[in-house]
Structure 1
Amino acid sequence: MGDSHNNALMTAYRAIAEREHWRIDVAGHIGCYLTTAVQEAPTQGYTDSCQGWKRAATAWIAGHADELDAVVVTHATTKSPVVVPTGSTNDETVVQGLVDAWRTATDRGVPVIAIRDNPIARDDVVACLAQMQGPTTGDCDMPREQALAAFDGNEEAVRVLGDSARYVDMTDRYCTATVCPAVIGGVLTHRDPTHLTATFATTLAPALGDRLRAALDSLAP
């Protein structure tokens, strides 16, 4: 469950499901993810749609808890920031919103597996690569510290929930120690500054599937 960054992993989820013989149900809403925090939106209608999706998502989890092995979540760090209440901070609001929403699952015995958000790319990543002739260079890459600068709160929320949650970090598949390349294995990683290409998402399936399997195995009684 998640926003468009979750939806960008659809091709990976499909490949994982076929390899592992799993059923993976995917629910996504643009600019909206599984949190009790209110997210900023350009219109009231957009806010209402997002809040409605969150209610439907948590109701679905509650109604299907007996069928679920886990709830896998991810979300963008750069879109639809949360509304911070007086007396709180952005990071505190992000983490608390995740924890409260995830407890819809964990309180019913369903663990949560949170996937760290993908890094961002340059604003002009596609145009930059289109100007190249022959083999690509690193001119369109993004420095690691900039690509991963945003806070998604997943690791911190997993820590709060302890044994009922697990954290999956795919950063090593996106980045080196210094940069997050625009092209990996001959494949364009991003179709815009924040969204993965479907082709690159598919290449993540083996590693992501292995890490989801390891997370599930570590949660087994």
Structure 2
Amino acid sequence: MGVAPHRTARIERSTKETEISLSLDLDGCGRGEIGTGIPFFDHMLALFARHGLLDLQVRARGDREVDFHHTVEDVGICLGQAVEAALGDKIGIRRYGFALVPMDEALAQAAIDVSGRPFLALRTPDLPPLALLHAGAFPAQLLEEFLRAVTVHGMLTLHLEIRAARDPHHLLEASFKAVARALAMSVEKDGRIVDVPSTKGVL
């Protein structure tokens, strides 16, 4: 029996606001080569690759002098498109994935369904609104913009709950790691699944 080919995709996106080149290997080993011009975002994407066992390359240029929003959102769009393209027919995947990840005092819980129905639920019970928080110069609110772009263009259902946090850096890091690990589980192949994991026959 031969080795199954890696599930890969390459996405290019050019607008008046950003230029992005992204390549993804769902069957990688966690290598990240990231350059967006936003150091904190680079850090989050690198750990997303490591904990999601994805090989991820991102090169982005954007209007950072305006703010970080366009770059972060458009990278999310490209990542979602790459996930959807790399998954192909989705035969044999587990479909569902979940993770509960601590980062010191922060705790984030993510659950993903490769459903074909884009949906994002982000809950932060008992925490200040993300719009009030920053990790250095990076607005925590951009977590929601990034994940919404990934879920819409990746055709994913994602529930993320940040259950505890004091440090915004830890809040964001726990969230990126939890989503990455849930994604890794959901796209993993299971030899017992011989078709699409849905009674409908499609995802």
TM category, shorter? 0.3 to 0.5
| More strand per residue | 2
| More helix per residue | 1
TM-score normalised by L of structure 1: 0.31
Larger Rg: 1
